[in-house]
Every structure is written in structure tokens, then in C-alpha cells.
Structure 1
Amino acid sequence: MASAFQSAFSGLKKYTKKITHTETPLEKNLREATSNENWGVANSVLIDIARCTHDFNDYYLIMSTVWSAIGDKKEKWRRIFKGLNLLDYLLKFGSERVVDETRDGIHRIRALQDFQYTEEGRDKGAGIR
């Protein structure tokens, strides 16, 4: 019963947030690029995000989303993987500030060198290591 209540409350919370907060195109792209879903992200989304790194305000939203994805719990290994892929793309095609911030936060990436996670007996950490 408690889990049914939590599930209903969670759904209501998401619905309320959706109504009260209109998602910007950048927020939508970031959500898509760092989702825990089992599919990749379109290059057009990556291009749009990289372009937004040149805007002062958007840059901080982008990088906080990247670091949040990379630092997520192991069970969300797809999100970690997608966060690393997004960071790789931003290092190549985004603002120079991405390089500086990544250099400062390299310890977060190095912590993933020993990443281990298995799902249904399969090693899911190989793409992250």
C-alpha cells in the first residue's frame, strides 16, 4: 500500500511540475541527452547543447547537468555513460570553458576508471571504464 501511495504521489508530483514549469528547449535537450533510457541521442541535440555552452547562463546549467549525470548512482549506468558521451562532445565542439572545467573536475572522471556494474549477469561498466 505504501509503495502504491508513493507511486501515485510521484506521478502527481511530476504532473504538477510539468504544469507549473515549462521546460526550455535546452532543458529538454539536456534531459534527452542524459536520460537513463536504452537509446542514444540525436546529433542535432548534441549540436544544440554544444552551441549553448557559449552562452554564460546556459553554460552553468549544461555543466551542472553533465556532472550530475556522471556522478549518478551505479544503477543508472546508462545516464553515466550518456553524461560521459555528452562531455566528450562538448570538449570537442563546445566552449573552451568546458575544457577548463573538465580539467578542474578530472577527479570525477578518474573515479570511474574502476566502475563496476553488472545487470542480468552482463558487465555494463565496460563502456564507462
Structure 2
Amino acid sequence: MTSSMLRRQLKNLVQNYSEAEVKVREATSNDPWGPSSSQMADISDLTYNAIACSEIMTMLWKRLKDDKNWRHIHKSLTLLEYLLKTGDDRVLLKMKENIYIVKALTEYRFVEKDGKDQGVNVREKAKVVLVLMEDDEKLKAEREFAFKTREKTSKGAAASSADNVKDPGYKPVYVPGATGLPSLDNIPSVADLTASFAARKEERLRQEAEKKEVDRRAKLSEDELAWEDAGKSNDAKSDAWGGEKEEEKEEVKKDPWGAPKKPSSDPWGAPAKTEEDQIETGETDEDPFAAPKDKPDPFSSSNGDPFNAPKDDPF
């Protein structure tokens, strides 16, 4: 699968084109080969569906207006000629609504860099299509001839297939809801295409970097190459003075299974002191301003009633 095919399929998915539009885009692509007879026959059959026919003609007009790609125009004219001969009658009606586009293409010019005029093929094909659009008798004769040719081809195919022995009880399978249009299951997803493009871009950048490196080394002298290779091969870690760097000590990791530390009682975050620390420093938890517990408090009042007479009162 070429890059142009990948880009076209990606655009089909992004733009959400219908299956009829996808077939037209494939048949009128910018690839250096013409639309195949099978592609044109499939598109011709789709013209008998009103919705598909409208989508086909709309896409063809877009292709015919793309004057920067002469292959789009030439293939579209080739497909239009085939549809006029084998497609539905509404193809001619829609073409007459935009006949001015075909007339303008009879003067089309496209000169490539080598000086070759590719527009001559477009001009000749536009004249053939224009004659079929304007001459009803000629178009009728061409349609009858195309019908007979297609009938003979279908009979020949039927005769060749009749040689194969088939089961007399065979019946075609009918799938409810089937439209008969081709499936897009074989088209890769947007994610796959994006990943493919990214991988190809990365590979291209890598090759370009390798090529630049080879060209740069080719311009260096032998001494410069030796110095550069020696610098790359010196894997020993050294500081600015030539000595080996000390290995960084790994941080002590906390034991996830260890007991948690005792929370600090200090509101400012200082660690709580243990009993051993208090013994070593001589500090205690007792209040230095409190009265001693083993001595009477000289400042405490007596518990006796000052208004009671003493027990040994002689009166």
C-alpha cells in the first residue's frame, strides 16, 4: 500500500465519506493508472440508487474543479463517459446542470516541468463527453451498444459458471438490512494510520541524523576522530581535577514494617525526650515553682476555725 493510498483512506475516514464517494475517489485518484473496468461498473450500478447517484455526481464535480491535478480531471471525464453510456438516465440530467464545467475543460492547459502538456488528453476527453451530452441520437446509439456488450459479457460469465455443478437445493442467503454497497472493513482505523505515519517519520528522522553524523565525521581529520573516539570511550567518572567522583550515598529508606515513632509532645515540633535523656541531663517533669511534697507548705493556711475558742479555754 502506497503512501498516497494511506493518505486517501485516512481522509475517507476523517471526512466520513459514504461508500459511493469512496469508490469515486478510488477510481479518480492521482495514481498513475486509469480507473479499472470493475470500478466503473460498480459505480455505474450505484447510479440507479438516487442517493448514491447524487453523491457520485457531487464528488465528480469536485474532481473536475481540481485544476492542479490533471489526473483527477482526466479520470473523472473517463468515468463520466462510462456513466453516460451505462448508468442511469439521471446522470445525463445532472451533467446538463453543470455543462459549463465540461465546456471549460475543452481549453484546459497543464504543462509539467519537463515541458510536456498533459492538458491535451483532458481537452480531447472533454470534447468526447461534451458530444455525448449534446447529441441525443449518438448517446442513444452508444447506450444500446454498451448494453449489448455488457449483456454478452454477462452471458459469457453465466455460461462459464454453469459448467460448475451446483447443489439443486441451493438458495441465496438474504441478509436483512443489507444495502448491497461495498464494505469499508478492510480500511485501517485512524489510530493505526496515525501510528504508521509517526513510526515512518521517526525512522526517517533517525536515518537523516545518522547520515548527518557520517558526513560530519567524514570531514574530520584522523587526529580529530581519535580524540573524539577517546572521549566517547572514557566511561570512568572523574571530577574536574582528574580524581574519581565519590559514589553518592543512597538515602536510608524507612522500614515500612517498623514501629512508628513516638509523637512529639512539643507544640513546636521538637522530639519528645525519653526517660534516659532526662536522667542523663538531670531534667525532670516536676514544676520548679511548685512546693515540695515531703515538707509542709509555710504559706498554706491552717484548717482550723479562727473564731472557735481553744479546747483548753478555762472559761
| Range of TM-score over shorter length | 0.7 to 0.9
Aligned residues: CA RMSD: 2.2
Paired residue for 2:87? 94
Paired residue for 1:6? none
> What does residue range 11-90 of structure 1 map to in structure 2 within 5 Å?
15=10, 18=13, 21=16, 24=19, 26-73=20-67, 75-90=68-83
The TM-score normalised by the length of structure 2 is: 0.34
Q: Whose radius of gyration is greater, 1 or 2?
A: 2
Task: Kindly report structure 1 stretches of 4+ aligned residues shifted beyond 4 Å.
Answer: 14-17, 19-23
The TM-score normalised by the length of structure 1 is: 0.79
Structure scoring higher RCO (CA < 8 A, sep ≥ 6) equals 1
1:38-97 Cα deviation digits (max 9, x unpaired): 111210110000000010110111000111111112x20000001111111111110100
* Change in CA separation of 1:60 and 1:118 when aligned onto 2, cut-off 3 Å: same
2:85 matched to 1:106? no
* Change in CA separation of 1:126 and 1:22 when aligned onto 2, cut-off 3 Å: closer
Structure 1 residue 34, shift from structure 2 partner? 1.2
Equivalent-residue separation in structure 1 for 2:17 and 2:74 (angstroms): 27
Structure 1 residue 21, shift from structure 2 partner? 4.8
Mind listing any 5+ residue stretches in structure 2 that lack a counterpart? 1-6, 124-315
* Change in CA separation of 1:15 and 1:97 when aligned onto 2, cut-off 3 Å: closer
